[in-house]
Every structure is written in C-alpha cells, then in structure tokens.
C-alpha cells in the first residue's frame, strides 16, 4: 500500500466528508517519476522566466471567452470551401494513411458533392488525388466530430466570442449509428445529409438569426454551465444541452412557419423531432465553443498549455500555446469500453475526431464526475468517473469557475492541460469517446475511454525547451 | 463519538470507495431510541401477521404503476367542479383556520371564476361560507402544489396508469414569484391564469391528444427516470423534466398551427416560451405521477406505508395504506432555507402544498443525492444532500429500481415511508420545498428544508395498532 493511511470516522457523514475533501485543492498522493528522458527538458522549461506569466495569460484568455451561436450557413460560404476540398478531423493526413472511417466519410462526402455517383467509386478519385484535397478542420477555424469530414454544401454552426468577434465552426450533428462521421456512407446516410442541407440548415439559420437579432444569440458557454449541473459532460452526454438548445430555438422555429418565405409546419415539426431525438446534437456546439476558448491561448510564447488534442483515426496530435501551429503526433490508440450489438475490440478503429477538444478545455472526460451515468455508455464505475476528474486536476493549470461540478462541492473542472505536469507525473489526459468501426461504411461500434499516446507530450516538451530563451548568465 | 471508527486508506480511491459503500444496503450506524410512548404500539404492529405481506403488496403496487399523460382539460369537465367549489392542498381545512397564502389563492381563484370583481372582496364571501365550499385536492384524485387551489375553469393534466386506467390530475404550473399557488392574486396573476385557460390549456390539449393518438402518450414515469440522471429531484428541480416534456410535445404543438381550427403560430411560440421559461413546469406532472403510484397502495389492510403527506399551510397531514382515508395531522412547520431578496424567516408561512407527495413516493428530498445543485436553492451542503438520501433509506420499505441515483452507484431511491420505521428510529421524512409569504398576496419568499411534525407518526402508528386483529392466543 503506497498511499498513507489515516483514521477516519465511518459514520453517516463519511460520504459527505469524502466529497468535501474533493472540493479543496488536491495534493498528489501517488508520486510517480517523470516520463523517461524528460528531466533535462523539464528543468529547462521550469526555468523559463516567461512560463508563469504566459500560462496565467493563457488561462485568462481561455476562461475569458464566451461562445455564442450567431449563425448557421453552408461551409462554402463560411469557409470558402470549393468543390473537391475536404476537411477532416485531427492533424494533417493523406488518403494513403487514412483509416477506414475517415475514408468512408470522405467517400460519402464525395458522393454528397456529386463528385461521384456511387461512394464506392470515390476511392479511385482520392487515390488519384486529382481535383481533391484534404485539410484539417483545425486549420480552418473548425472542428469535426469523429471523421470530421466537411464538404462545401454542409451547413455549419458559427460560434462567436462576443468580446473579440473571433469565430469557430462545426457541422450539424447527424445522430448516431449509421452516420457519415462514423464512416458510414449508405443511401440513408446521404439522404439524411441532403435533408439536413435542404431543410434543417436553412430552418436553423432563420431561427438562429431571429433569436440573435431579438433576444440576443444563444449563449453556448452558459448552456455548458447548466449542462454540467444536469449530468452532461458535453462529450458523450449532451442530452440536457440538446434540450436547452431546442428550448432556446423552438419558438423561433415555430415562427418561421409563417410569413412570406415560410417553412412548412410539417418541416418545422420534423426538424424539432430530429434535434430532440438526437441526444448528441449539442456536441457540435460544445466542440466549437471549446475551440473558441482554446484558440484564445494560441501563440502565447512560453505557455505550456495544450490548445488542441485531435485525432484523424491514424494519428493523435496535440498543439501547444507556446509552439505555434506545430503538431506533435503519435499513433492513435483503440479505446477501452463497451460495444454495440455483436461488435468487439477487433472491430474498432483507433481513436478519431476533433472532439477531444472538449477534454482540452476541461469538460468531456475531465468532467466525468458530474456525469456519473456516463459509465453506462463508456464503461467503468461511478467511482472511476469521480476519480478521473480528480486526477485530471493534477495535470491542469486551472479550475474553470463557470464549469462547476456540484457533487465535488461546485469545484470548477480541470482546465488547461499543462505539458510539463503531464511529463512530470506521467498522468495522461483522459478522453471518453465514441468508437468507429475500422472498416469504411460500418458506422459506430461502441464507446469507451482512451488516452493520447504518451510520447507526444515529451515531444511537445522538447519543442518548448528548444524555444526557451538562453539564460542571461 | 458514538459512531465506530475504522482505518481507511486515504488515497486516490477514497471517494470511489466511499461512494461504493453507499451503493450497498446501509445498516443504521446511529442507534436512537423509538419515539416516546410508541413502544407498546410498535410491539403490537410488529406482531401483526398481515404486516409483511401487506407492505410487500403496497410496494409492488407503487412500483408497478406507470403514469402517462393522456389528456388536458378543465377541472369542471374532469372533476365535475362547479361554480363556488374550491379544491386546496393538504388535509381538510376551513377558511377560518386557513393561512395567508391559502386565503390569497382562494381570493384570486374567486376573482378568476367571476364570483367577485376584486379579489379583496372575496374574504367576506369565504367568511360567510355562502355558495362556496373547500375540499382537499386529495379527495378528488388530484394534487396541487403550494396552496393547491383548483377552480372549475382551471385546466388540468390527466395522468393515467395504463394497466388499470386509474387517473390523477393536477393544474398547469404558473411559474415562480407572484403566482396564485404562492398566495399572490394581483392583476398579473389573474391575467396569466386567464391566458393559461384561453390559450395554453387548449393548445396543450391538442398536442397531448395528438401525441397520445399517434406515438402513444408521454411516459411521465419514464421522464422521471431520466430526470434523476439529469440533476432533477423532481420537487424543487424540474428543469430536465420540463425540457423533455417540451421535446415530446413540441412537434405536435407546431402542427397545431395548421389545419382548420389552427392555433396561431405566435400563440404556439408564446406557449413554448412559457413552458421552456419555467423550470418548474414539470412539477405539476411529477406530483400526480407520484399520487397515481401511491394511490395504488391505499386501503391495504395491515400496511404501514405512508400514501400521502400533504400540508394546507396550517396543518401537516399524512394518510397511511392500512388506515383508510383517515388523516393524521399536526402543525405545519416553517422551512429552514434560503430567502429571496430581503425576505427572512419572519416572512415565511408554515409549510404548504401537496408537493410532499414527491417525497412520499421517493423523489424530492428523498432523492437529493442525485441533485446536488439543489443546495444552492434550498440551502445546506452537497454532503448534506447525499447524506439525506442515505438517511431516508432507513425509514423506507423499498428502493425504486426505476429511479436510480448514478452517484450512489445507481441505487434506487428510498420509496415507501414506513410509519413503524419512523417511530422506531425517530428519523423524520426530509422534504425540500418552496416557501410562501405568510401574508396573502405576497407570493414566494424562499425555499428550504422541512420535516413533518413528529407527533403525527405516533398518531398513525396508534391507529394501525388499534386495527391489528386480536392474536388467536
């Protein structure tokens, strides 16, 4: 038993005491050696005179961001995407190295854009590389869940930081199961995407603009605050968030059924049913809200804060505030979790998607304590969920007072992953995630828990160390 | 220190272990003597050969009930209420003994029904007793929050147990602050009630019937299951429940804006805004769902289960499965909690409302562990909230597997208060509640925690003891 022991009164107040204990800053109990080979870089970065202030600025920038929903429009308009341009989740990758689900989503996307008739024919197109290009969402102020494929005709949410006018984007969530972002591309997938483009997108645009111009835009950061008091951790549980979005847009959706260019009431009802029937709909707002906050810390020299964690299904990459746009990558891992139907670990693709931006910002896996019911989806025990949030505080720079966890006496979630703390403790960020089938076309096979490959943090640390200005001595 | 002590490993798993400990049946740690003067009755009831089976039947009846929302209609139609008939919360009471908030709500109700022009003139009417009558909601298959006043023109939800066709009823929730159920009766209160009767009621009737006749009625018991995983305890937090109701009725509300007798889209939007803007809207479905379940256990000879706890603002009354329709009453207490604005304890009326039916069924104060954020409304600490649910298991006959608390490793909520356990332990049911101003017309002044007067349980026990059949010896 490596942990110290103490005498504790086992009475009616045991749980209360134990919980209260979590609410005070936790000192690390289990000491672990730093990650192998990081001692010299840790010493260099620790001595960087810019570090403390830089991290304070980074934390302030992240916590100071407020994401509001200001528009919905096609990617062609918002990002200037042109025919043949495809965005995807994670760090840069080629078709050649792309995993099954990313390939499947690209193939479906090519059919959606009319580049091919049959998605199966798209493989040759991407192999040839003629008139098609791949680029990370993150390079276009965007994030995408799972495969994260964005094509010009897809409609996207636009989130804005009121104070600075900075914007981020994300597509509309399709639901679960056989959906493009999990690599499925059957006729029902394309039909749904076409309906989203023809009906849902324009309807949401009208509603979002009506709300924005009357009551003021939907406060996505504020909804996240509420979600964390309602059992959502905003990565794999977004039920309360989705319902609050529906509450905020519902009346404007209804009103779009009258007037000159009215939407048919049956379409409005169908759109409401679609949104309300998909507990994950809000994920595609939570993600760009997190990116909007973290982007505020990009490019702060000397800061050791992670500003993006993202996976393309092959590589897991991180970006750090103090190292510009450089990606530090390693092989994406397969999650450990629960499987749908007859699927098992052999059917699962390695970790994929930009959705780890939620953990990067301090929710998702980092906020599992507030969403204990999530263990029924991703596995583990309720105790694990509570312990995870507690452990993540050990590698975080701050607590987010806006995102407080009631059961931990309203302690803020661990926010701002510190590369040096990860290297010093060996504690890896905990991500909870959906699992895509490894084969293109399959769709979702499960959900579970995963961490980044350990070696990307020493890589990032080394890059930080190389940037430390020479000491004046 | 009366509790035993033990050595516990204080490490990363402390909280996990502590929480896990809560998930196993808890043996009482703090022994307390039975309530004074109950020994003989406890012995008699304990020896009742019918008791065990009767309580098993009562538990089965309660857990076997499923509440669905099958209709919305005026009280005149549903309950046959006629002009001058007033229902109210709690056990029977006269105008003479009625508290401020009950008087205020009756006065407002009289004006709503056109019995008087000015609510202030209604006092004389009720004093005279001419052509007016008061009767408890509970005597009419109904429950009412706070003052619980029901008049013929008020629209009510109709909940039905699918298996038996039994029904219960409750008015539509008005929102917070200056509202009739808290004893306010100003022009804005009456105007809102008229809008609810003219617009909201008929619109909800169409939507509820459309949903009932197409997808099947809204499953209120099922929504309660979800709420308990979303931070609602369904008495003073009903946010997730309200949102799920809006999700389930929204599309049908939209569709009621077209067709021959269409509701104007602006009215539909306004109704959605009203429901979505009132986090307590679902309370008026949670309450009749609880009554529907508990009514299933009424009249089971030998059962010591409480089937109703209700307050009229003056008296707190309980009814018990094994004692027919008899009320056991004592003085209602003033809650201990948090106050709105400048209000303080001196402004608060004693406990009022049928809403303690939620605690009687195992939610509300009994499920506070699942809604730790509630302490910001009713006071206390998160640890208290967790300890409360745990303590209530000590006086409950069963756990409700449908109402499970994630943070307690999905343990079911404590369901079915046992009069004998209350008398044997002295542990009183914990209720969380809104507080009405003591003066008629004021409205809500706060929210807090309260218990029934202790002596009503020995009274009920004595009545049970008197009904025990003579032993054959």
With helix as H, strand as E and coil as C, how does A312-331 read? Answer: ECCEEEEEEHHHCCCCEEEE
Tokens 């707190």 belong to B316
The pLDDT mean for chain A works out to 92
| pLDDT, position B258 | 75
A contact test, residue of B229, B275, B385, B405 with most A CBs within 10 A:
B229
- Find, among B332, B320, B326, the residue nearest to B423 by Cα: B320
CB contact under 8 A, A231 and B258: no
Distances (CA, A) of B16 to A15, A285, A383: 10, 32, 4
| pLDDT, position A3 | 36
CB contact under 8 A, B273 and A251: yes
Q: Residue B411's closest chain A neighbor by CA?
A: A382
Q: How far is residue B63 CA from its own chain's centroid? A: 17
Q: How far is residue A74 CA from its own chain's centroid? A: 21
Distances (CA, A) of B424 to A402, A432, B28, B48: 45, 47, 12, 16
CB contact under 8 A, A5 and B10: yes
What span, in angstroms and rounded, lies between the C-alpha atoms of A71 and A58? 27
CB contact under 8 A, A383 and B229: no
Provide the 10 A C-beta neighbour count for residue B307. Answer: 30
Q: How far is residue A293 CA from its own chain's centroid? A: 12
Q: Residue A375's closest chain B neighbor by CA?
A: B406
Nearby residues of A201 by Cβ (< 8 Å), 6 or more positions away: A72, A73, A74, A155, A172
Q: Are B140 and B73 in contact (CB under 8 A)?
A: no
Q: Is B31 helix (H, G, I), strand (E, B) or coil?
A: coil
Q: How far is residue B193 CA from its own chain's centroid? A: 21
User: Which segments of chain B have a pLDDT < 70?
Assistant: 1-31, 472-473
CB contact under 8 A, B15 and A272: no
Q: Which residue has the higher pLDDT, A439 or B28?
A: A439
Is the CB of A276 inside 8 Å of chain B's CB atoms? yes
Provide the 10 A C-beta neighbour count for residue A346. Answer: 8
Q: In this structure, what token pair is assigned to residue A17?
A: 């005491």
CB contact under 8 A, A384 and B16: yes
- Comparing CB atoms, the residue among B11, B229, B386 nearest residue A231 is B229
B contact test, residue of A2, A7, A16 with most B CBs within 10 A:
A16
Q: Are A185 and A214 in contact (CB under 8 A)?
A: no
Give phi and psi for A78, each to the nearest 5.
-75, -45
What span, in angstroms and rounded, lies between the C-alpha atoms of A432 and A451? 9
Is the CB of B229 inside 8 Å of chain A's CB atoms? yes
- Find, among A222, A230, A205, the residue nearest to A67 by Cα: A222
Q: In this structure, what token pair is assigned to residue A110?
A: 């090519």
Q: Are B350 and B313 in contact (CB under 8 A)?
A: yes
Is the CB of A24 inside 8 Å of chain B's CB atoms? no
Distances (CA, A) of B176 to B61, B218, B224, B279: 34, 25, 21, 9
Which of left, alpha, beta for B61 (phi over 0: left; psi -120 to 50: alpha)? alpha
Q: State how far residue A124 is from chain B, nearest Cα, in angstroms.
A: 43
Which residues of chain B make contact with A270, given a CB cutoff of 8 A? 251
CB contact under 8 A, A7 and B7: yes
| pLDDT, position A473 | 59
Is the CB of A218 inside 8 Å of chain B's CB atoms? no
- Find, among A253, A203, A220, A444, the residue nearest to A343 by Cα: A444
Burial of B153-189, coded b for 16+ CB within 10 Å and e otherwise, reads bbbbbbbbbeeeeebbbbbbbbbbebbbbbbbbbeeb
| pLDDT, position B262 | 79
Q: Which residue has the higher pLDDT, A258 or B294?
A: B294
Pairing of strands B85-88, B133-136: parallel
Nearby residues of A412 by Cβ (< 8 Å), 6 or more positions away: A362, A398, A399, A400, A401, A402, A403, A404, A405
| pLDDT, position A261 | 74
Which residues of chain B make contact with A22, given a CB cutoff of 8 A? 15
CB contact under 8 A, A250 and B272: yes
Q: In this structure, what token pair is assigned to residue B239?
A: 């946010």
What span, in angstroms and rounded, lies between the C-alpha atoms of A190 and A174? 11
Proportion of chain A above pLDDT 70, given as a percent: 93
What span, in angstroms and rounded, lies between the C-alpha atoms of A11 and A4? 21
Q: Residue B232's closest chain A neighbor by CA?
A: A230
| pLDDT, position A4 | 34
| pLDDT, position B427 | 97
Is the CB of B387 inside 8 Å of chain A's CB atoms? yes
Q: What is the ipTM of this complex?
A: 0.91
Query: What is the C-alpha R_g of chain A?
Result: 22
CB contact under 8 A, A229 and B373: yes
Tokens 């029977």 belong to B92
- Find, among B453, B353, B455, B449, the residue nearest to B99 by Cα: B353
Give phi and psi for A257, each to the nearest 5.
-90, 5
What span, in angstroms and rounded, lies between the C-alpha atoms of A143 and A357? 8
| Number of residues written out for chain A | 473
Provide the 10 A C-beta neighbour count for residue B463. Answer: 17
Through-space distance between the first and last CA atoms of chain A, rounded to whole angstroms: 45
Is the CB of A330 inside 8 Å of chain B's CB atoms? no
Q: In this structure, what token pair is assigned to residue A299?
A: 């490019």
**Host H or E run for residue B287:** helix B283-295
What span, in angstroms and rounded, lies between the C-alpha atoms of A175 and A277? 8
- Find, among B221, B244, B208, B85, the residue nearest to B153 by Cα: B85
| Number of residues written out for chain B | 473
Task: List domains and CATH numbers for chain B.
Answer: 32-63+298-466 (3.90.1700.10), 67-287 (3.90.1710.10)
Is the CB of B210 inside 8 Å of chain A's CB atoms? no
What span, in angstroms and rounded, lies between the C-alpha atoms of B275 and B279? 8
Q: State how far residue B101 is from chain A, nearest Cα, in angstroms.
A: 32
Q: In this structure, what token pair is assigned to residue A387?
A: 């312990």
pLDDT tens for each residue of B369-424: 999 999 988 988 999 999 999 999 999 999 999 999 999 999 999 999 999 999 99
Which residues of chain A make contact with B244, given a CB cutoff of 8 A? 243
Distances (CA, A) of B57 to A32, A147, A466, B107, B318: 56, 53, 74, 42, 20
| pLDDT, position B10 | 31
B contact test, residue of A250, A281, A404, A411 with most B CBs within 10 A:
A250
The answer for A 358-377 residues in CB contact with B (under 8 A) is: 372-373, 375
Q: State how far residue B360 is from chain A, nearest Cα, in angstroms.
A: 22
Q: In this structure, what token pair is assigned to residue A262?
A: 């009215």
CB contact under 8 A, B18 and A20: no
Provide the 10 A C-beta neighbour count for residue A145. Answer: 28
pTM of the entire structure? 0.92
Q: In this structure, what token pair is assigned to residue B33?
A: 């003597």
Q: Residue B384's closest chain A neighbor by CA?
A: A16
Strand arrangement of the beta sheet that strand B315-320 belongs to: B328-331, B315-320, B306-312, B352-353
Interface contacts A/B by beta carbons within 8 Å? 220
CB contact under 8 A, B3 and A12: yes
Is the CB of A116 inside 8 Å of chain B's CB atoms? no
Is the CB of B13 inside 8 Å of chain A's CB atoms? yes
Q: Which residue has the higher pLDDT, A467 or B26?
A: A467
Residue B316's DSSP bridge partners are B311, B330
What span, in angstroms and rounded, lies between the C-alpha atoms of A307 and A106? 26
Distances (CA, A) of B156 to B121, B201, B439: 27, 8, 27
Through-space distance between the first and last CA atoms of chain B, rounded to whole angstroms: 45
Distances (CA, A) of B420 to B33, B59, B305: 13, 15, 9
Of the pLDDT bands very low, low, confident and very high (cuts 50, 70, 90), residue A259 is: confident
Which residues of chain B make contact with A255, given a CB cutoff of 8 A? 265-266, 269
Is the CB of A246 inside 8 Å of chain B's CB atoms? yes
pLDDT tens for each residue of B2-36: 333 332 333 333 333 444 344 333 344 466 789 99
Q: Which of A230-239, A250-259, A385-394, B39-48 has the lowest mean pLDDT?
A: A250-259
Is the CB of A255 inside 8 Å of chain B's CB atoms? yes
Provide the 10 A C-beta neighbour count for residue A31. Answer: 7
The answer for A 29-48 residues in CB contact with B (under 8 A) is: 29-30
| pLDDT, position A263 | 81
What span, in angstroms and rounded, lies between the C-alpha atoms of A353 and A280? 15
Q: Are A254 and B272 in contact (CB under 8 A)?
A: yes
| pLDDT, position A30 | 59
Q: Are B316 and B340 in contact (CB under 8 A)?
A: no
B contact test, residue of A6, A17, A19 with most B CBs within 10 A:
A19
Is the CB of A383 inside 8 Å of chain B's CB atoms? yes
Which parts of A24-66 fold into alpha helices (H)? 39-46, 51-63
Give me the half-sphere count of Cα atoms (radius 13 Å) on the Cβ side of residue B37: 9
- Comparing CB atoms, the residue among B231, B257, B276 nearest residue A231 is B231
**C-alpha torsion angle, residues A440, A444, A450, A456 (rounded to 10):** 30
Q: Is A458 helix (H, G, I), strand (E, B) or coil?
A: helix
- Comparing CB atoms, the residue among B226, B250, B387 nearest residue A12 is B387
Is the CB of A346 inside 8 Å of chain B's CB atoms? no
Flag whether pLDDT at A44 surpasses 70.
Answer: yes
Residue A170's DSSP bridge partners are A157
pLDDT tens for each residue of A389-437: 999 999 999 999 999 999 999 999 999 999 999 999 999 999 999 999 9
Is the CB of B382 inside 8 Å of chain A's CB atoms? yes
Which residues of chain B make contact with A248, given a CB cutoff of 8 A? 276
Work out the average pLDDT over A359-379: 94
pLDDT tens for each residue of A191-202: 999 999 999 999
Is the CB of A247 inside 8 Å of chain B's CB atoms? yes
Of the pLDDT bands very low, low, confident and very high (cuts 50, 70, 90), residue A18 is: very low
- Find, among B386, B381, B374, the residue nearest to A386 by Cα: B386
């Amino acid at each position: 038993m490596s942990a110290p022991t103490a005498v504790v009164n086992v009475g009616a107040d045991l749980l209360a005491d134990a919980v209260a204990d979590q609410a005070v800053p936790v000192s690390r109990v289990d000491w672990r050696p730093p990650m192998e080979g990081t001692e010299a870089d840790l010493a260099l970065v620790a001595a960087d005179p810019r570090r403390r202030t830089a991290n304070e600025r980074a934390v302030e920038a992240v916590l100071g961001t407020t994401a509001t929903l200001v528009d919905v429009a096609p990617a062609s308009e918002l990002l200037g995407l042109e025919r043949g341009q495809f965005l995807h989740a994670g760090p840069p990758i080629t078709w050649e190295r792309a995993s099954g689900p990313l390939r499947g989503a690209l193939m479906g996307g090519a059919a959606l854009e009319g580049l091919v008739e049959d998605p199966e024919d798209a493989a040759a197109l991407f192999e040839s590389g003629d008139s098609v290009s791949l680029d990370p969402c993150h390079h276009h102020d965007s994030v995408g869940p799972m495969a994260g494929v964005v094509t010009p005709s897809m409609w996207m949410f636009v989130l804005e930081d009121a104070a600075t006018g900075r914007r981020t984007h994300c597509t509309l969530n399709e639901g679960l199961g056989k959906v493009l972002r999990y690599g499925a591309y059957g006729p029902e997938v394309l039909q749904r995407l076409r309906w989203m483009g023809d009906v849902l997108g324009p309807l949401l645009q009208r509603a979002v603009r009506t709300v924005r111009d009357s009551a003021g835009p939907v406060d996505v950061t504020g909804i996240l605050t509420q979600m964390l008091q309602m059992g959502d951790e905003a990565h794999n549980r977004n039920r309360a968030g989705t319902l609050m979005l529906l509450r905020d847009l519902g009346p404007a959706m209804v009103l779009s059924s009258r007037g000159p260019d009215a939407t048919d009431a049956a379409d409005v009802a169908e759109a409401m049913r679609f949104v309300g029937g998909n507990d994950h709909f809000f994920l595609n707002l939570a993600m760009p809200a997190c990116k909007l906050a973290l982007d505020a810390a990009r490019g702060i020299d000397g800061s050791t804060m992670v500003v993006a964690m993202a996976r393309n299904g092959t590589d897991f990459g991180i970006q750090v505030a103090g190292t510009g746009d450089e990606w530090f990558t390693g092989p994406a891992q397969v999650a450990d979790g629960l499987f749908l139907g007859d699927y098992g670990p052999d059917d699962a693709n390695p970790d994929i998607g930009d959705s780890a931006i939620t953990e990067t910002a301090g929710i998702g896996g980092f906020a599992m304590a507030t969403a204990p019911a999530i263990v029924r989806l991703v596995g583990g025990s309720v105790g694990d969920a509570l312990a995870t949030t507690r452990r993540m505080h050990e590698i975080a720079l701050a607590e987010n007072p806006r995102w407080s966890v009631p059961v931990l006496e309203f302690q803020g979630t661990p926010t701002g992953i510190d590369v040096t703390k990860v290297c010093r403790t060996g504690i890896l960020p905990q991500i909870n995630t959906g699992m895509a089938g490894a084969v293109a076309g399959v769709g979702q096979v499960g959900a579970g828990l995963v961490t980044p490959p350990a070696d990307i943090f020493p890589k990032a640390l080394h890059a930080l160390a190389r940037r430390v200005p020479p000491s004046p001595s």
